[in-house]
Every structure is written in structure tokens, then in C-alpha cells.
Amino acid sequence: MNHHLTIVIPCKNEGKGIIDVVKLLLEQTDCKIIIADSSDDEGSVLLLRKYASIYPNIQIVEGGLPSIARNNGAKLVTTPYILFLDADTYIFNPYLLEDCFTTAIKGKYDLVTCKFKTDIPYRWIFRVFDLIQWFTSFTKPFALGGFMLFKTETFNKLGGFNEEDKVAEDYRLSSKIKPRKFKVFNGYVYTPSRRFDKKGVWYRDWETDRKSTRLNSSHLKLSRMPSSA
């Protein structure tokens, strides 16, 4: 897996949080890790640079909005597969990466994602999300940007993330995948409930969404979270 997979993480002012995410990855793989950073917090910048100087498989590139940051990282990918994570996606299961990668290879899938867990007060949200994702996977699949394991060739053919999308860029790209080439792996990653804590369960940035490309009015931001901060 190490020579066939690159991990790309968009990041902005994550501080020690991104380091904890990277530490978990380093315990599980020697894959190249590209962090597309747009931090303006000096502490976060110095922390990332320090880690990159210690581990040769970590590379820092210019970030931006999630779609731009992910594409910036993807431009440097030379491996057959690319995994997009969020800066607050914690992979505690030491076998999840390998299992998802094996699933992608054996099933010849273009996109493999997994399930999400968060803190108990909001855990039900992802359970509802799992149900919606399962139903739509037969007609128009979609995945969260917090865990998207793409076949690099397919990602490039689709043109990557639309950089004009300020929201739901993960939904729009993943919905272009053919259902038979899409798989939801039955395993979990963890993301903190900080967005729910800060903005509530049904938050939506209406002004940003209005200026972005059109979305069906029923798609709340729940359809795209977690996204990078």
C-alpha cells in the first residue's frame, strides 16, 4: 500500500489537532502525506513545518478553500490511489486504511468511503446520514470529503474538485461516480462534534451557498460535513 497510495489533507489553523491526525497515520503507514495548508496562525505553521522536517514522507503545499487545497495536493500525486482526509478525521482503527485500500483494489472501485462517528450528543446525525447514503448509492452515490479514497486516474478524468464550489464540493464530485464503481466500507473514522457545537445541527451558510453553484434546496450542510475548517 505504501507505494500505491498518497494521502492529501487540507488544513487551516488546526494547531495540535492536525498533528494528532498525522501521528495516527504515521503509526499505520509510510504513505506520502501531503498537507495543503492555508494557516495564518504562526503556531500552526511552525508545528507543521517541524513535523515535515522530521518525517520525509510529509510534504506541505499551499492550501486555500477545501476544493482548492485538495486539488493543490492532488497535483503532486503520482500513486495509483489518493485518499482525501479532513484535518479532523481520526483513524483509530489500525486496519482501516489497509482494509479500504484492499477493498478498492479487489472490487476495482473508483471511490471508496467509510462511515463516520462523532461525539454522543450528535451521533444520531451520522446514523441518519448512513441511511441516506445507502439509499442513494444505488442511483447517485456521494461521499464526505473527510474520507474519499479515489482511484487517481478517475479523479483526474473527472477534473478534480470544482474550485468554484465553496460548499458541497465533495458531494458534487463523488456524485459523478457510477454506482457500481462506488463502495461504502463498513468501518468507522471519528470526527469531533466541533462544527455542531459551534453552529448547531442544521446550520447552513445561505449566502455562500447562494453564490456557489446551484444545490437542491433540500441539501443542508449536513450533506457535506465534515469538511475542513
**Quick one: pLDDT band at residue 14, thresholds 50, 70, 90?**
confident
pLDDT per position as a tens digit, 164-223: 988 899 999 999 999 999 999 999 999 998 666 666 554 444 333 334 334 333 343 343
Which band of pLDDT confidence, cut at 50, 70 and 90, is reported for residue 122?
confident
Q: Is the pLDDT of residue 159 over 70?
A: yes
Confidence of residue 225 (pLDDT cuts 50, 70, 90): very low
Percentage of the chain with pLDDT > 90? Answer: 67
> From the centroid of its chain, how far is CA 106?
22
Strands 111-117 and 147-151 turn out to be: antiparallel
**Tens of pLDDT, residues 53-86:** 999 999 999 999 999 999 999 999 999 999 999 9
pTM of the model: 0.85
71 Cβ partners below 8 Å, 6+ apart? 160, 161, 163
Averaged pLDDT score across all residues of the chain: 85
Enumerate domains of the chain plus CATH numbers.
5-223 (3.90.550.10)
Q: For helices 16-28 and 42-54, give the axis angle rounded to 10 degrees.
A: 20
Among 29-38, 40-49, 176-185, 199-208, where is mean pLDDT lowest?
A: 199-208
Q: Is 114 helix (H, G, I), strand (E, B) or coil?
A: strand
Read off the pLDDT band of 130 (50, 70, 90). Answer: very high
Residue 199 confidence (pLDDT): 61
pLDDT of the residue at 1: 79
pLDDT at 149 over 50: yes
94-105: average pLDDT: 96
What pLDDT sits at residue 229?
34
Sheet with 5-11: list strands edge to edge.
Answer: 58-62, 32-37, 5-11, 81-85, 147-151, 111-117, 182-190
